[in-house]
Structure 1
Amino acid sequence: MKQIVAAVGMLVVSVLVYAQSPASPDLNTIQNWSNADYILLGEVHDNAAGHALRQEWLKALVTKGHFALAMEQLDRENQALLTVTEQDLLSKANTVNEGQLKELAKAGSFSFKGWQWSFYEPLFKMAVEQNLPLIATNLSQSEMMSLMTGKVKASTLPSEWHSSMTKLMQERVEKGHCNMLPKEMVSPMASAQIERDRSMAEAIVAAHRDTHLPVILVAGNGHLREDLAVPFWLKVLDPKAKVVSIAVMEEGNTDNEPQKAFTSVYYVPAQDRADPCEELKHHRFAMPEHKK
């Protein structure tokens, strides 16, 4: 979300912080990442520079060992078809064309309308060329709608989850929609987001145990927060595991995520884009109907 920094002093402090953040980790740092059980690599979804930087990290990581590659952009309910499709590609040829990669993405319900294909095609290509098991982690849109309408009850939260965390998630949902959401939508959407993070964690824990490989997860920065999102659930599900959470933020941090919520933060130039809040002014928000 676009934020206006009013105080010049705050702006100066921000510039100093970004200047101290290296553009990319050194090889020793990447080696340390490769020793983790779960390597969470973030993104601002539409930032080309961030995707390019992360791709360089992935290239470096696969020289250090073999991994499973998990993606927010793939629906977990399609894991079986995704695996079969990937294995079929691996059995046919060492190289694949774009059409085959798109079929692989479709097997995991990749949304070509919602995600920019050019940013994610290299991930699918790397998975096939390096024989990295692809792992789908997200809830489908229908699952999200079922949660929001109460058709499906959300899972019971563990004792480690506090009411303050629910409140924070609700605040993030409101801010993420420019404070334009109807009040009755905030709590259901926050609950669904919590379930998404849990689903991602469950998927990569299962993949780690099934493949006996460390897992790289690519997902939006918000899903990588150690205080609230996937890393929290990893502590619950696999408490002895080593987890690193690496955010890729824009200079100016327009997403307003706190640096302390990640293992490391790296900055890229902000993407030129229209003000999302202006676009949301023309959006009609409404709770989905609960169809019996």
Structure 2
Amino acid sequence: MRLTALLLCLASPALAGPQAEIVILGEVHDNANAHRGQARALRDLAPTAVVFEMLTAEDAQQATANPGLLPTIWQDSDWPDYSLYKPIFDALGTARIIGAAAPRDTIRTAYTEGPAALFGAQAPRYGLDKALPEDQQATRENLQFDAHCKAMPHDMMAGLVAVQRYRDAVFARAALNALDTYGPPVAVIAGNGHARTDWGIPALIAQAAPGVTTHSTGFVEAATDMPFDTLHIVPQAKRDDPCETLETN
């Protein structure tokens, strides 16, 4: 039934990439140009459901029941201003809003106990019951160290990698559940680090459900080594250097 629905879908345009059952649209969180690109992709894709990194399941339920609450829900979060994301929500059409953000206490558990403890019986399906290859673990710890301005002890980075693995698996599971419930295509709105094809959401979907087709599009500000199926470079957002702020405090 899902395959039949897929065959009836129109081919996705350049911004979203070729036709796929699950389309992952990466972003730079505070870049309005990235969000406008995501919005154009969503309008052309016309997904049945959109999974958001930024919303919890409860947030999504409230937003579905009363879309007018979205700015208020957003104001209580730690994400950039709602006005940056408004084009995405304006482009949803009839798509169901799916929240996949993990509560803070869950994130703390993933950091201290690892992702497998939270997934239980489903952990092997997403590869969470196994350690990462040593070279990948080291690379990911170094990326986390740089992303946090080298301001935290390096030995804390293993916990942050565990959290990243947990969150990627949560997003992948939410996308697969949405696909089973609403049919294709399903879209995912998440940071570029989650959208990368080598170890992000697409890789976990490939492991958990090898027959499901995915396409990942990165909206980035400069050429990058992160792998995507499609890459779009957008103008850089104006921002202060967060690392410079830390150095001066």
User: What TM-score do you get using the length of structure 1 for normalisation?
Assistant: 0.70
Question: Does the alignment pair 1:115 with 2:80?
Answer: yes
* Cα separation, partners in 2 of 1:100 and 1:186, compared to 1, 3 Å: closer
The residue aligned with 1:37 is 21
Assess if the C-alpha contact under 8 Å between 2:22 and 2:184 holds in 1.
no
Task: Please list, as runs of the form range in 1=range in 2, the aligned pairs for 1:1-292 lying within 5 A after superposition.
Answer: 29=14, 33=18, 35-62=19-46, 66-76=47-57, 78=58, 82-83=60-61, 85-86=63-64, 88-89=65-66, 99-102=68-71, 106=73, 111-127=76-92, 130-150=93-113, 153=117, 157=128, 161-251=132-222, 253=223, 257-259=224-226, 261-281=227-247
Q: Distance in 2 between matches of 1:220 and 1:237?
A: 21
Aligned partner of residue 29 in structure 2, secondary structure: coil
Aligned-partner SS, 1:73: coil
Supply the distance in 2 between the matched residues of 1:272 and 1:234 (Cα, whole angstroms): 34
In structure 2, the partner of 1:287 is none
User: Residue 110 and residue 139 in structure 1: after superposition, are their counterparts in 2 closer, same or farther (change >3 A)?
Assistant: farther
CA contact (8 A) 2:15 2:217 kept: no
In structure 2, C-alpha distance between the alignment counterparts of 1:223 and 1:151, rounded to whole Å: 18
One-letter code of the match for 2:103?
S
Gap runs ≥5 in structure 2: 1-10
Residue 209 of structure 1: how far off its partner (Å):
0.8
State the one-letter code of the partner of 1:193.
Q
- C-alpha displacement of 1:123: 2.8
Residues 1:132 and 1:165: Cα distance change in structure 2 (over 3 Å): same
SS in 2 for 1:270: coil
Larger radius of gyration between Structure 1 and Structure 2: 1
Q: 1:148 to 1:30 in 2, by over 3 A?
A: closer
Higher mean C-alpha deviation, range 274-283 or range 51-60: 274-283
CA-atom RMSD in angstroms = 2.8
**Cα displacement (A) at 1:83:** 3.4
Whether the aligned pair in 2 keeps the contact of 1:154 and 1:191 (CA below 8 Å) is no
Matched residue type, 1:29:
A
Mark the CA change 1:190 to 1:239 in structure 2 (over 3 Å): closer, same or farther.
same
TM-score, structure 2 normalization: 0.81
3-state SS in 1 of match to 2:194: helix
Separation in structure 2 between the aligned mates of residue 40 and residue 213 of structure 1, nearest angstrom? 13
The letter for the 2-side match of 1:171 is N
1:217 is displaced (CA, Å) by 0.5
Q: Secondary structure at the match of 1:114?
A: coil
Q: Write out per-residue CA displacement over residues 74-133 of structure 1, whole angstroms, 9 at most, x where no aligned residue.
A: 124x3xx633651x34xxxxxx6xx44335xx3xx7754432201222333443xx2211
Once residues 194 and 131 of structure 2 are traced to their aligned partners in structure 1, the CA distance between those partners, rounded to angstroms, is 18
Q: 1:147 offset after TM fit, Å?
A: 2.0
Q: Distance in 1 between matches of 2:246 and 2:177?
A: 37
Q: Distance in 2 between matches of 1:180 and 1:233?
A: 30
TM superposition shift of 1:161: 4.7
Contact conserved, 1:42 with 1:221, CA < 8 A, in 2? yes
What do the CA deviations read for 1:21-57 (whole angstroms, capped 9, x no partner)? xxxxx97535853x20110111111112221222222
Cα distance, 1:136 vs structure 2:
1.2
Unaligned runs of 5+ in 1: 1-25, 90-95, 284-292
Inter-partner Cα distance in structure 1 for 2:22 and 2:75: 22
**Aligned-pair distance for 1:213?**
2.8
Partner AA of 1:60 in structure 2? D
